[in-house]
Amino acid sequence: MLNVAAPLLISIVYGSILAVAGNEAAPSKGVHDKVGWQNNPGRRGTWDIVWSCATTIFACTWSIQHLNVPGPHDGTIRKLLRSCKWMVITILFPEFILVHAFFELAMAIQATELVKERTSRKVAEYPWLIKILFFRNQALNRQQERDNEDNQGPHNALQEPEWTLTHSYFANMGGFYYEQADTRSSLTASQYAQEPDLYDIPMMEEEYIKDKGKQDLFAKGIAILQILQLVLSLIVRATRRLRFSQLEMITLVFAVCGVFTYVAYWYKPTGVGVPIAVTGRSSRGAPKFNKTYDGFWDILTNSNSFTDVTVIHRIKNDNIPLSTSHMTHVAIPILAVISAAFGCLHLIAWNFEFPTEVEKLLWHIGIVLSITAPVIGLVTIPLAQIVIQDGNPRDFMRDCLYVLRELSWYSPDRSQMLDARERLENIFNNPDTRCDDAQQLYRNIFENSVTSPTLDVQMSDFIDKNAPFEDRMSLELPEGFQRQFTRLLKHMKGNGPKKLVENAKTNVFPQQSLLGRKVNLFILYTTSLAYCLSRLTIMALALSSLRYLPDDVNNLNSDVLRKRDGFEAKLKEATFYLPGIDWYVTVDEKHGNCSEAQFDALYKASSMGLRMMEFTGYDLEADAFDTTGFNRNFVKTYAWKDKYPSVWNNATYKYKTTYEWLLYPKKDKRQYKTVYWCQKPSWSKKADCAKKAGNLAITFTIYPEGTFDTESPFSSSIVICPLFYDQKHVEDITREKRSWDRYLSGLVSREHTLIHEWFHNDRTNMGD
């Protein structure tokens, strides 16, 4: 536990220190305005974000725990450490807890059905939530009909408390225990249903079981509401174009798992500390304790345990239903799918902004590992169950008969060998090797023949010439028989992969795994370590990013309109003295709103252009603005040039000085409106840059005042690909014509080129 908790604690401390310290790390390229730790009134403070996320994560990792009843010798410290261990497991593997919760629910329903079918107890109707979740279950569909039949006739148990789903949960978590003489064992609901006449189960109301727990449905409902509050707040922020932090994103992922886990655990008691004793009915015989559940960890490690465990002191917290498949437990593929889906939720924050490019790269690596690592690890478990033949089953049976015959000469009581030898000979002589009678477990043949020592142990000592068979005559056995028989003994004791243990049968054995169990464990542990590191990395980065968040993360209301209004005012003020031109800037609502991030990029680009005018010493009251930044070649085009004198830029970029601009004055004052809007490119042959940008482009359209949404030669567009600075070209579309301008990558920033293209659209009246 310490090995897991230590790196988790280090990552949390590391992220907290960076967040509080407000380290002035260099922001990543293209990031918007960022702020450090915020405590401003009227805005969301950073501590408010941390506290909201911390309480939600606590509800999803500590309050959500529904641990089984502790053992009789478990003290307070051990119980506390066990709760801490499962909290760490929930933080690192929340999808594991979710899957386990639904399997526990399925196991409780299965046990309730067994009690209904095999005992005289009256079973209560299932709650409405269970009916909705398991509506297609035939057993549930038949319940109302059986209950009506029970109510039609008289019965003697009118006052007897009904057996409910809570009773099954309570029994499966170790709420009942059977104690007789020196034997004490937990009694599950399925064990009780298999031998109901042997146990005197106390007649308890459901309320009595709930009273033994420390948490009621009201407390669970409050926890769910607390989780949903964060989910709804993030949904509202998304609809209002307000960004949220990485920490809130991973808390959202916890919340999604937490809500479904609470739903699955809704009827399971929690906080039960002491089990209830169950007495036996001595006249009915001694009970046989059969294990009625698997362990999730045993399933993940591909281990096997027999179902005839004599004593169970405590039911572990990873109990799930027994597998009905000879290949692998159904929990494995389900957990793989849920793990992948859980990891994919982190893709919400794939394009979030980080203080540095390194942190963003680590974030991407962590997300990819969190999606792929658990799936790869879980896929190896079915592969490890693939078995191949390691010899002829008929030859192995013949050699076993030979050993039994020779062993009978050295055994003090030859009659002990006759039963096993006779049964094995009958199976060997059966021509149908695939029928059930021909495929019997070797364990049932050898171990049931004698009491102590068992026949398989005697055969092993006889083959190895161990005492008391040191002086036996040599045996003519095949070279690999001794190795095969040793492996059979191991599988008979329940050791080895699950399918090999189950296939230790006549006419089937000898077999071996295609991949050794050590290979399976190596891949499982390696991928689990990679997954843990990815989870810790994601959490640490989410905390460290708090030191330098985009400014609008702390806003309670959208800042788009305020920025737009300020933007228009700045442009009008800056262009007021430009000869012959007024600019009106809007965001077109008809063509699909620009996202806040896209509009912010336009705002920054245009603001940069205005600042560049000031940096170059441009006098706003001058008659013209002229610098030597670019050599622009103009041509007069089109038939309407007499009515609307215009020029069309076919520019070749010749960089002499960066961040310099060229504007030409107009002779006649004319009003224009620039409309910024987002669209998907509609041209037939999509440019490479548009494909890499996900077919989303930013379009700038220039309209003369009063001609908006009408056919006009001035309705021209420049399409700028958001990822164009990674391309070799920029596509310049004007009046549905296409021309290519050579773009020298890396010489100018994205914002510089955006504002440059904006000025390309300036309609200038150059006269003749």
Q: Is the pLDDT of residue 366 over 90?
A: yes
Q: Is the pLDDT of residue 113 over 50?
A: yes
Q: Which long-range contacts (CB under 8 A, 24 or more apart) does 443-448 make?
A: 443/492, 443/504, 445/420, 445/506, 446/420, 446/492, 447/492
User: Could you tell me which residue, 32 or 232, shows the higher pLDDT?
Assistant: 232
d(CA 361, CA 376): 22
CB-CB neighbours of 111 under 10 Å: 26
pLDDT of residue 77: 92
One-letter amino acid identity for 411? S
* pTM of the entire predicted model: 0.64
d(CA 140, CA 116): 11
Beta strands in 201-268 (DSSP E): none
Q: Is the pLDDT of residue 26 over 90?
A: no
For residue 646, the Cα-to-chain-centroid distance in whole angstroms is 58
Please compute the mean of the pLDDT values over residues 660-673 and round it to a whole number: 31
d(CA 528, CA 342): 15
Tens-place pLDDT, residues 175-213 = 898 877 666 788 888 888 888 888 888 888 888 888 877
Its sign, for the CA torsion 221, 202, 321, 318, is positive
pLDDT of residue 98: 94
Most confident of 61-70, 466-475, 693-702: 61-70
d(CA 163, CA 467): 56
Tens-place pLDDT, residues 674-711 = 333 333 333 333 333 333 333 333 333 333 333 333 33
Tens-place pLDDT, residues 80-103 = 999 999 999 999 999 999 999 999
d(CA 39, CA 352): 22
What is the DSSP secondary-structure string of 412-468?
A: S-THHHHHHHHHHHHHHT-S-TTSTTT--BHHHHHTTT-SSS-HHHHHHHHHHT-TT
pLDDT of residue 448: 54
Q: Is the pLDDT of residue 535 over 60?
A: yes
List the one residue out of 112, 114, 282, 280 whose CA is nearest residue 185.
280
Tell me what percent of the residues of the chain surpass a pLDDT of 70: 57
Residues near 142 by beta carbon (within 8 Å), at least 6 away in sequence: none
Answer yes or no: are the C-beta atoms of 172 and 319 closer than 8 Å: yes
Burial 589-628 (b: 16+ CB within 10 A, else e): eeeeebebebbbbbbbbbbbbbebbeeeebeeeeeebebe
Q: Is the pLDDT of residue 342 over 80?
A: yes
Exposure of 250 by Cβ count < 10 A (0-12 exposed, 13-18 middle, 19+ buried)?
A: buried
User: Cα dihedral angle (720, 722, 726, 731), rounded to 10 degrees?
Assistant: -20
Please compute the mean of the pLDDT values over residues 228-238 and round it to a whole number: 83
pLDDT of residue 179: 78
Instruction: Give the angle subtended at the CA of 147 by the CAs of 141 and 151, to the nearest 5°.
Output: 160
Out of 252-261, 399-408, 427-436, 594-603, which region has the weakest mean confidence (pLDDT)? 594-603
List the one residue out of 455, 392, 390, 389 whose CA is nearest residue 422.
455
d(CA 99, CA 698): 44
Please compute the mean of the pLDDT values over residues 635-664 and round it to a whole number: 29
d(CA 379, CA 120): 43
Report which secondary-structure segment, H or E, holds 217. helix 217-239
Q: Look-up: residue for tokens 């039963």?
A: 419
**Structure confidence at residue 515 as a pLDDT band (50, 70, 90):** confident
The two structure tokens encoding residue 222: 């409050």
List the one residue out of 284, 278, 100 whose CA is nearest residue 184.
278
Tens-place pLDDT, residues 289-311 = 667 888 888 888 777 655 545 56
Report strand pairing: 670-679 vs 581-587: parallel
Out of 376-380, 400-404, 565-569, which region has the weakest mean confidence (pLDDT)? 565-569
What is the DSSP secondary-structure string of 567-589?
A: HHHHHHHHTTTSTTEEEEEEE-S
